[in-house]
Amino acid sequence: MIYQNDLILRAARGENTERTPVWLMRQAGRILKEYRAVREKAGDFKTLVETPALAAEVTIQPVDILGVDAAIIFSDILVVPDAMGCRYEMIEARGPNFPMVVRNMTDLQKIHIADPADLAYVTDAIALTVKQLDGRVPLIGFAGAPWTIFAYMTEGKGSKTFSIAKKLLYTDPKFAHALLEMITTSTIAYLKAQIAAGAAMVQLFDSWAGILSPVQYAEFSSRYIRVICEAITEVPVTVFAKGAFFALEDFTTMSCNTIGLDWNMDPADARKRVGADFTLQGNMDPCLLYAQPEVIQKETEAMLKDFGPHRYIANLGHGVYPDTPVEHVKAFIQTVKSYKH
């Protein structure tokens, strides 16, 4: 595939770029009125995720409207447990809920390793998006990191502490590893299917990394991220583990290309810790985008200066908040695109 704009791929591979590429986590979403219109047409979130034509439409919206340097397929990390037989429902204003949870060896009999064919609605959406993008920008695929998926499958819903999920790591590590293995195998097959359908790079989201201790993280999360990174050789891989400041050095021993940073990380400190061989992605506080455009410009320029021109992809340190004014998002993107190092 030849891209008209391949800045993000070059940045991920460590090649020179004329300027810093930029995209936003959750750019295809509620910040755009055009998204909200499609979402309403779909009726509910899961229908939107499972209807390739609609998913492709909202995936491309931010490329057209915001001018970002990459699209990311509109989907949800929870499609993997869904395809493993652990169905989720998305409850308006409350989040995901799993009517059946998986908490012991016996429960494992009720689920199975996901068959990518059961996730054809995602790979079809990817293929359709790639076709419609027609080489304008690359499309990013993604999946949840095994620990984060494990947290939802065991807890059954979002949680401040995920104490049910974490408890299992201490009380039944054998079960925890068995489930994590199943998720890992499912995720590798799923990401490979996304790549086969046209995803030009992939990102692993470890949204609940930050609730584990460093020792638990090494045992129950990063070891499975490592396995996935090793398995994905086709395209650049990004690891974004929110709150896992303690694992940065560990990620540099994996075969990933880009390390995502949340807004708690100091750019210079992160660069010192990861060295020169990895691309960094992030890490503006999403709340900055509530500020006036001139403040956004000033703070974004400070961030760009801190990260420097090489091996860097500008982004927020978390998904953009749904009530962010779209003009403010544009100010962020425009600042990155016009910045001269």
Binding stretches for its own copies (CB under 8 A):
160-161, 163, 166-167, 169-171, 210, 212-214, 216, 243, 245-246, 263-266, 269, 285-288, 290-292, 295, 317, 321, 323
The answer to whether 30 is a known catalytic residue is yes
Looking at the DSSP assignment, which residues form a beta bridge with residue 258?
238, 279
Give the residue with the Cβ less far from its own copies, 181 or 299: 299
Give the residue with the Cβ less far from its own copies, 56 or 316: 316
Buried b (16+ CB within 10 A) or exposed e, 229-250: bebbeebbbbbbbbbbbbbbeb
Catalytic residue among 6, 69, 76, 82: 76
- Shortest separation between residue 295's beta carbon and its own copies, angstroms: 6
Catalogue the long-range contacts made by 92-101 (C-beta closer than 8 Å, 24 or more residues apart): 92/44, 95/157, 95/158, 96/152, 96/157, 96/158, 97/156, 97/157, 98/152, 98/153, 98/156, 98/157, 101/153, 101/154, 101/155, 101/156
- Shortest separation between residue 285's beta carbon and its own copies, angstroms: 5
Catalytic residue among 10, 39, 103, 271: 39
The answer to whether 26 is a known catalytic residue is yes
Give the residue with the Cβ less far from its own copies, 10 or 103: 103
Give the residue with the Cβ less far from its own copies, 227 or 316: 316
Q: What is the largest CA-CA distance in the chain?
A: 58
- Shortest separation between residue 135's beta carbon and its own copies, angstroms: 36
Q: How far apart are CA 142 and CA 134, in angstroms?
A: 20
The answer to whether 277 is a known catalytic residue is no
The answer to whether 39 is a known catalytic residue is yes
State the catalytic residues: 26, 30, 39, 76, 152
